Structure formats: structure tokens, C-alpha cells
Amino acid sequence: MCGIAGYASLKNGDKALDTVVSLLIELQHRGQESSGIAVVSHEGKDIEVKVGKGTVLDLLLNNGNNIRAFGEKRVFGAIGHVRYATSGGYVDSVTQPVVIGDDGFKLAVAFNGTIANYRLLAKELGIRDPESDVDFFSKVLYMFAREYGNDVVEALKELSKMVVGGYAVVVLTSEPRIVAAKDSRGFRPLSYVFHDYEFVIASETAALDVVG
């Protein structure tokens, strides 16, 4: 079980960082092993990320100045993650969001779920030695997005046809763009609201209630 969150706005991007931090704090009961936040500006081009072991408070205490610097930019959106490992363990748990890509196109991925057949798919798709299902998912999502002209939505559709398991995911791109998705059976929780040019995403509706 993990918690994922996201926020994007065409008008109020300066709220992105504070909103995602608030959402993650409300989702903290879903995981205390690691936490992280990724941010992209309206200009796109690059995604900045801060991750670390422990709670959201630990992340803020250890990276406070760097994280506050996020908010000084003209931000489009942010995503975040809190982790509780249901496979592997604390020591080898993957800190998220995972950022992948190059100067031409980048993705940040906040993932909650389990993919049972990721090792088999990795062999079929030529992904060498994925560290985890999150690592696999991020690499294949990026590969498919590039094949579809950087279209993450089409990449997610294609990936959903192949994987066995349940997941919810929030993706931030360097275009910039934010996308939220669930597996085709909808096993993992994910809620969102779109209002007045603001898109807010969280693993639980209770977190959305807190940020209004």
C-alpha cells in the first residue's frame, strides 16, 4: 500500500507544492518508509525531484531549502508519493517519484500497485534487469510514450493491455502535462477533482476534502 498525489493548474501553479505536501501528509498512514515530490514549471523542459527515506516531515526537514526553491518558480504542477513496501523490504524499497528520460522528454512516475508479470514482460520487451515492478513500469511507459510521439495517455493504454496486477499511477511530464490512471479493473484507489482550471489527485477522497 502506498499513497500518491498530484496537482496541476493553468492559473494557480504557485499552490502546487503546498497542495501536494498537504495531500501527502493526509496520506501518510499509507506509507512511512519513503516519500518524495516532483515538480515541473510551466516552461517544462525539466522535472525536479526530491526523495528520501522516512515521512513527509523527514523529507521537508532534510530538504527544506531545496523544496522551498521549487515554489519560487512558475510551477505548472507537482506529484508526490509515500511508500509502504508490500514486496521487498524497507532497505531496498524504491523511493518515488521515479524520474526517467533525457533532455528531449522526461517523465516522473508516482506508482501504487503490484505487477505480477513484470519480469516476464521485461524479457519480452528487452528491459534488462528491472529493479522492481515500479522500475519496469516507468521504463516501459517512457519507451511507449516515445513511440507514440511523447503521448503518455496512449502509452498507458498500451501498457494496461499487457500487465497483470492492480495499480494506480500519476505521471508528470516535461511538456508539461499531468495524467492520472488506474488499471483496467480499478483495484487500486484513486480519486480526483477538476475545478476552475485546477486538477487535484489523491489515493483517498479524505485527502481531497482536506485541501478543499
List, by residue number, the catalytic residues.
2
Contact (Cβ atoms closer than 8 angstroms) between residue 205 and residue 188: no
Quick one: cell of 166?
492492480
* 14 vs 18: CA distance, rounded Å: 8
Contact (Cβ atoms closer than 8 angstroms) between residue 100 and residue 114: no
The contacts of residue 150 (CB under 8 Å, 6+ apart) are: 105, 173, 175
* 169 vs 140: CA distance, rounded Å: 14
